[in-house]
Amino acid sequence: MNEKGANIDLVFRNGLKDFEVLPPPEVWDGIRPFVKIRPRPFIFLRVAAVITVLLTVSFFTYRWSRELSTGPAGSVFAFNMEASSPVISQPDNNPQNLPTIKYNQIKNSPDVLTDVVDPTTTLPEIETIAIPEEVIYIQETKSLSITKNETLRGPFLTSLNTSQGNSIKIKEPDLQYFPENITTKPKNRWSIAALASPTYYSSFNSGSDGLSKQLMESEQPLFSYSGGVAFSYKISKRFSIQSGLYYSALGQKVEGINSFSGFKPYDNTKGVDNFKVLTINGTIHTSNPDVFLIADGSDRILTDFTNDVIDPKKASLQPINSSLNQNFSYLELPVVLRYKIVDKTIGINLIGGLSYNLLVNNLVYTTLDGNRYPIGDTKGLKPLSLSSSLGMGMEYNLSSKLSLNLEPTFRYYLNPFSVTTGSYIHPYSFGIFSGLSYKF
Amino acid sequence: MSEIKKIIKGCLAGNRRDQELLYRRHAAKLYAVCLQYSGNDDEARDILQEGFIKIFENLDHYKHEGSFEGWIRRITVNTALEKFRSRHNLYRVDDIDMIQEPDAEPDNQDYAGLEANDLLGIIRELPTKYRMVFNLYAIEGYSHKEISKMVNISEGTSKSNLSRARVILQRRVGSYTGIKKRVANE
């Protein structure tokens, strides 16, 4: 039976080999024009996305660690009165034992087709494609089907071994089961994004007292930035929820505060809180025993070492700068809801949500020849604050998985950083976040 | 770049002329496959149409490493199988068993005079499951193990269906060649 079965198999296999029947014209009419919106997956873009994420994380980790290392516990400049020139002090718990280095040293530091095609054949115009004669013939002989039992025409199979002059093959090696890989895979709802932005930082004053206004007038925003990694989960076609971890550095410059160095010999209180400077974000407390501060025409400095007690010029204190810089760094845990308004190649999202901000770095410094000169820190800051954010996100799909994001975002801090001055100062920031988003 | 590569590239770029050219080149051969797997012409047309849509959608997955003709044939066969699986519930299981099994005839027949169109007509008269198993085993070259997974039957059923299909085909072919000989003698 096996041999007989094999024979009948061969009859059909060889008889139907290269058999052609011209399909009715309406079949082609029913095939819609096909447009592949996206190209093949970009392995290079995937790699680029991973690199971008790693670089972003590394960058912010580095910045964070750097800022921490240059905090009040880090190296500080100091002036040695005996040497009559500024010297650098290494961290030391005992301010009395600070080693010194010459000022000049510090100043100078700093990405077998086997289809048989006749190569001589030129592609005809679609409109003029000739229907092969063989195909027309077969269609004409279709009436010879056994069910209709009509006249017979055309070449017959003469024998088993010589049919169509082709050798018999039991199996065609390239005919393998092509299983379910045609079907589309279920979509993964998760995506990861790396975003960063320079931000403009300022504050709203909800109070009306004169001191707050005076303070705000003398405070200017410093270069601020924010960035991090966000994970988002697509709840529905249009809604998605996003969270992640961001690092943001905010800052402002307090004008009108003159700083001098070399005050340590006059300090009898071991350098703790010699000067307190009122700002809209809290009170600056000095921790550097060698610094002397004096306000330029205002009474925002609280100290026992007033101008009446010590005159910096007479005491030969070395002027450093006429402003102080306040830096606040936050680790942010946002919970953001996104609503996709436009879902095309360029998508537009409406973004809104809340963010918990954990204060991780708080530094006040001034600058001397481009170098940071630590002053102290800002007291009265709330370690945890809550901010709201509202933005409009634009998303350009580079591929089905990778997209370029641009998100102008306004952030408003719901609770003030502090209430030092009696007025409620609500900081806000505006940034245009840009980055890459990768959909899994 | 070979001609087929250019056509594929054009198809992927959304060039309708290239898509039609690809269709014109392969439609006749694939339609014959569709007729082989379907019980009627409407179904064959549907399979061809859906098959080409899948071919266009998956052109970017073709690695230019094997026969393009083999690749598009596999897609067409799989489309026919999907159609079969989706309509399988329409066929009563006992339909097949109720078919009267013909007696096996000695295979000393002369198959001369049978042309492709005759064979197609014979094969399409087979019961659906027999036709599927026979096509997959005898024409495409799949094993019973593979067929069992594709058609969702046991290997034993696959062997049994093949055996019954062969018996039916042998008898039909035999009677058909007899008719032809008589017509030729007259």
Cα A360–A362–A365 angle (5° rounding)? Answer: 150
Last residue of a domain, one of B64, B90, B116: B90
Q: Hey, which residues 169-208 in chain A have their CB within 8 Å of chain B?
A: 170-172, 174-179, 181-182
Q: Which residues of A touch B179 (CB under 8 A)?
A: 149
Q: Are residues B41 and B99 in the same domain?
A: no
Binning chain B into helix, strand and coil, the percentages to the nearest 5 are 75, 0, 25
Q: What is the largest CA-CA distance in chain B?
A: 59
CA–CA dist B12, A278 (Å, integer):
66
Helix (H) or strand (E) holding A176: none
Q: What's the pLDDT at A71?
A: 45
The pair of structure tokens assigned to A289 is 């025993």
Q: Which residues of A touch B71 (CB under 8 A)?
A: 178
Q: Are residues B65 and B29 in the same domain?
A: yes
State which amino acid sits at residue A156.
Answer: F
CA–CA dist A189, B161 (Å, integer):
44
Q: Are residues B97 and B183 in the same domain?
A: yes
Domains present along chain A, CATH in parentheses: 2-35+114-167 (no CATH), 46-110+190-439 (2.40.160.20)
B60 → closest Cβ in A36, A115, A157: A36
Q: What's the pLDDT at A342?
A: 83
Q: Are residues B63 and B111 in the same domain?
A: no
Q: Are A255 and A315 in contact (CB under 8 A)?
A: no
CA–CA dist A102, A85 (Å, integer):
7
Q: Are residues B118 and B156 in the same domain?
A: yes
Q: Are B133 and B99 in contact (CB under 8 A)?
A: no
Last residue of a domain, one of B90, B109, B139: B90
A40 → closest Cβ in B45, B60, B141: B60
Would you call A123 an interface residue with chain B, using a CB distance cutoff of 8 Å?
A: yes
Q: Are residues B50 and B134 in the same domain?
A: no
Q: Are B127 and B88 in contact (CB under 8 A)?
A: no
CA–CA dist A199, B73 (Å, integer):
58
For the four alpha carbons of A330, A336, A341 and A346, in that order, the dihedral sign comes to positive
Helix (H) or strand (E) holding A59: helix A43-69
CA–CA dist A113, B6 (Å, integer):
12
Distances (CA, A) of B124 to A56, A84, B129: 63, 108, 11
CB contact under 8 A, B28 and A22: yes
B116 → closest Cβ in A15, A35, A176: A15
Total of domains in chain B: 2
Q: Are residues B130 and B59 in the same domain?
A: no
Would you call A23 an interface residue with chain B, using a CB distance cutoff of 8 Å?
A: yes
User: Residue B79 is part of a domain; what is its CATH number?
Assistant: 1.10.1740.10
φ and ψ at A295, to 5 degrees? -80, 150
Would you call A414 an interface residue with chain B, using a CB distance cutoff of 8 Å?
A: no
Last residue of a domain, one of B43, B60, B90: B90
Listed residue (A69, A181, A136) closest to B63, CA to CA: A181
Inter-chain contacts counted by CB atoms under 8 A, chains A and B: 216
CB contact under 8 A, B119 and A175: no
Closest-approach residue (CA) in chain A for B175: A146
Q: Are residues B122 and B74 in the same domain?
A: no
Helix (H) or strand (E) holding A138: helix A133-140
How would you label A356-393 residue by residue, b for 16+ Cβ within 10 Å and e otherwise?
Answer: ebebebbbbbbebeeebbbbbbbeebeeebebebebeb
Q: Are residues B86 and B97 in the same domain?
A: no
Range of the domain at B30: 1-90
Burial of residue B44 (number of CB atoms within 10 Å: 0-12, 13-18, 19+): buried
Q: For chain A, which ranges sit under pLDDT 70? A: 1-6, 35-187, 205-212, 268-272, 417-424
**E-strand spans in A161-214?**
190-205
CA–CA dist B74, B55 (Å, integer):
10
CA–CA dist A380, A284 (Å, integer):
9
Q: Hey, which residues 341-400 in chain A have their CB within 8 Å of chain B?
A: none
Q: Which residues of A touch B178 (CB under 8 A)?
A: none
CA–CA dist A437, A231 (Å, integer):
9
Closest-approach residue (CA) in chain A for B61: A40
CB contact under 8 A, A34 and B49: no
Place of tokens 């905010």: A250
Q: What's the pLDDT at B33?
A: 93
* Contacts by residues A138-143 (CB-CB < 8 Å, ≥ 24 positions apart): A138/A19, A138/A20, A138/A21, A138/A22, A138/B116, A138/B117, A139/A21, A139/A22, A141/B115, A141/B117, A142/A21, A142/B117
**E-strand spans in A343-383?**
346-368, 371-379
Per-residue pLDDT reduced to its tens digit, A254-272? 888 888 888 877 776 655 6
Q: Are residues B161 and B178 in the same domain?
A: yes
> Can you spell out the DSSP letters for B46-101?
HHHHHHHHHHHHTGGG--SSS-HHHHHHHHHHHHHHHHHHHHGGGS-HHHHHHSPP
Q: Which residues contact B146 (CB under 8 A, 6 or more apart)?
A: A177, B136
Q: For chain B, which ranges sit under pLDDT 70? A: 1, 88-113, 180-181, 184-186
Q: What's the pLDDT at A271?
A: 56
Q: What's the pLDDT at A331?
A: 93
Would you call A130 an interface residue with chain B, using a CB distance cutoff of 8 Å?
A: no
Q: What's the pLDDT at B84?
A: 85
Distance in angstroms between the alpha carbons of the first and the last residue of chain B = 56
Q: Are residues B85 and B165 in the same domain?
A: no
CA–CA dist B21, A117 (Å, integer):
13
CA–CA dist A275, A272 (Å, integer):
8
State which amino acid sits at residue A296.
Answer: D
Would you call A44 an interface residue with chain B, using a CB distance cutoff of 8 Å?
A: no
Helix (H) or strand (E) holding B128: helix B128-134
User: Residue B168 is part of a domain; what is its CATH number?
Assistant: 1.10.10.10
DSSP one-letter code for A24: P
CA–CA dist A252, A60 (Å, integer):
20
Pairing of the two strands A384-397 and A346-368: antiparallel
Tell me what ipTM this predicted complex has: 0.84
Pairing of the two strands A318-342 and A346-368: antiparallel
Q: Are residues B98 and B157 in the same domain?
A: yes
Q: Which residues of A touch B180 (CB under 8 A)?
A: 152, 156
CA–CA dist A341, A238 (Å, integer):
7
Q: What's the pLDDT at A120?
A: 47
Closest-approach residue (CA) in chain B for A30: B49
